[in-house]
Amino acid sequence: MNDSTRPERQVAGLARVRDEELAGLESGAAARALLASIVAEPDRPARPAPIPAHRWPARPARRLVLAAAALVVMTVAVVAGPSLLPDRMGNATSYANSAIEIRQEGDWFVARIKDPLADRSRYVEAFRAVGKDVEIELVPVSPRLVGVRIQAGGNGSGQVRASSELVSSGPTPVDCAVTPANCTLVIRISTDTTGTVRYRVGRAALPGEPTQDPVVSSGVPALPGGGGDGGTGN
Amino acid sequence: MDDERTARFEAIYAATFSRILGFALRRCDGPEDAADVVAETFAIAWRRMDAVPPGDQARLWLYGVARNVLANHRRQVARRHDLSAALAAEVAHLYQPSAEESAELGTVGEVLRGLPDDDREILSLVAWEGLEHGEIAKVLGCSRNAVRIRLHRARRRLARELATAGVQTGWLAMSGRGTR
């Protein structure tokens, strides 16, 4: 007998979540609140607890229940959606982290890049939470290419309707081609998109940062909406 | 003294939280139940810090506690079940795998659910927590040899039921056991 034939290998696939996916949650707000509520309890029980396990109190203390409720909010994001699927796509309708904010607006998920310098895994995480396989890479470019989609792709499978554009960050519309610094990159992806989306989009370069402008070999620079992904145009 | 106790608890909490949460999530029907199990497990650890073994043994000790909390929880749920069955049926679809999941994993899940509780428990500790015989013995509070025998029997039953359900594992032939 070896590992690969052990029948419990089949059982492993049923795991709703793997420990690795939960790593780091202990430092989250909910876990810290629970910790605080536990250590706030009296040091010793009124009478020594008997060893047999089944004598333990059947109901958690009320305070623990409240702390546990916060844990639920945290864990529900982990197990939400078709959690038994290997890629564990979520089915949230909105998601936000410090890097990106995604909201469902009608038939579209509208993602606003809040931090163009964030690690791109933060964007991936957000799209995954709403069940979409999207990778956005923001590369430093010359000012004229900020917000321009330099490259678009995917694995070619499934249906894809997506677009990217710069929109005014503030309430007053500005010409984003002129003042991209006052604009936010917005990615739209239809709720019925089943395929993968890979966008490389230009962002403003930091002072002294080398730009990665695309090499224009055909004489036609890549322009917004130029990605061959069946996009809705910009 | 109290500071020392708190510091030790915090260290154990940080080192084991995701493991215990994972343990609970994989066994509970919903995140609310899992969170309750995690909260109660660590609360017991806090009350019984003197009994918590050092190092990685703490994790195994906590698995053992979580297992008992879970068993208590299930007993309560079973008592409530008759009253809540109708409601549960109404909301069941909210917490069910999709059709494609069912097709992919439903058979194995059904087989697992059909096994005796003891089999399911020991197989899960191997498959989900990745524990060795000696570690399982600590969690279950039995001898290493008992674990070995229980695990062998559980594997045999699982493989047999999987084979009956049309899922081949290759284990039966290699372990020299025929199908029934």
CB contact under 8 Å between A79 and B17, yes or no, is no
CB contact under 8 Å between B22 and A17, yes or no, is yes
Distance from the first to the final alpha carbon of chain B: 61
pLDDT value for B81:
59
Whether residue B16 has pLDDT greater than 70: yes
Report the pLDDT averaged over residues A11-35: 81
Residue B104's closest CA among A160, A199, A12, A13? A13
Whether residue B174 has pLDDT greater than 80: no
How many beta-carbon pairs under 8 angstroms link A with B?
A: 173
d(CA A148, CA A200): 9
Pairing of strands A133-141, A100-105: unpaired
A43 in contact with chain B, both atoms CB, cutoff 8 A: yes
User: Which residue has 């690690």 as its token pair?
Assistant: A119
Whether residue A137 has pLDDT greater than 70: yes
Please tell me whether the interface predicted TM-score (ipTM) of this complex is above 0.85: no
Both tokens of A129, joined, read 């939470």
pLDDT digits (tens, 9 = 90+) for A145-178: 888 888 777 776 778 888 888 888 877 778 887 7
CB contact under 8 Å between B128 and A15, yes or no, is yes
d(CA B64, CA B59): 9
CB contact under 8 Å between B31 and A53, yes or no, is no
Both tokens of A176, joined, read 């984003």
Q: Which residues pair with A33 in a beta bridge?
A: none
Distances from the Cα of A101 to the Cα of A76, A129, A206, A209, angstroms:
19, 11, 23, 26
Helix, strand or coil, per DSSP, at residue B178? coil
Query: Closest chain A residue to B127 measured between Cα atoms?
Result: A12
The CATH-assigned architecture of domain B1-94 is Orthogonal Bundle (1.10)
User: For residues A22 and A76, is the Cβ–Cβ distance under 8 A?
Assistant: no
Where does the pLDDT of residue A12 fall: very low under 50, low under 70, confident under 90, or very high at 90 and above? confident
Report percent pLDDT > 90 for chain A: 3
Torsions phi, psi for B170 (to 5 deg)? 80, 0
Where does the pLDDT of residue B123 fall: very low under 50, low under 70, confident under 90, or very high at 90 and above? very high
To the nearest 5 percent, what fractions of chain A are helix, strand and coil?
A: 25, 25, 50
Both tokens of A219, joined, read 């004489």
Kindly report which listed range (A102-106, A163-167, B81-85) carries the lowest average pLDDT score.
B81-85
Q: Could you say which of 2.170.190.11, 1.10.540.10, 1.10.10.10, 1.10.150.120 is the CATH number of the domain covering B97-180?
A: 1.10.10.10
- Compute the nearest-CA separation of B86 from chain A (Å): 24
Residue B135's closest CA among B68, B70, B62? B62
Q: How many residues does chain A have?
A: 234
Number of Cβ within a 10 Å radius of residue A18? 16
Strand boundaries in A117-234, DSSP class E: 133-141, 149-153, 162-168, 183-190, 196-204
Residues of chain B neighbouring A71 (CB-CB closer than 8 A) = 21, 31, 35, 38-39
Number of Cβ within a 10 Å radius of residue B99? 10
Kindly report which listed range (A3-17, A76-90, A116-130, B103-117) carries the lowest average pLDDT score.
A76-90
Domain limits, chain B:
1-94, 97-180
Mean pLDDT of chain B: 82
Helix, strand or coil, per DSSP, at residue B62? helix
- Compute the nearest-CA separation of A178 from chain B (Å): 48
Number of Cβ within a 10 Å radius of residue A127? 23
d(CA A186, CA B62): 46
d(CA B12, CA B53): 10
CA atoms within 13 A on the CB side of B160: 15
User: Which residue has 């994790």 as its token pair?
Assistant: B59
Both tokens of A130, joined, read 């709403």
Distance from the first to the final alpha carbon of chain A: 59
Distances from the Cα of A39 to the Cα of B6, B92, B140, angstroms:
7, 36, 27
Whether residue A222 has pLDDT greater than 50: no
A160 in contact with chain B, both atoms CB, cutoff 8 A: no
Whether residue A24 has pLDDT greater than 50: yes
**Residue in B2, B93, B108, B110 to test binding to A, most A beta-carbons within 10 Å:** B108
pLDDT value for B99:
47
A146 or A2: which leads in pLDDT: A146
Helix, strand or coil, per DSSP, at residue A109? strand
**Could you tell me the sign of the dihedral formed by the alpha carbons of B8, B11, B14, B17, in that order?**
negative
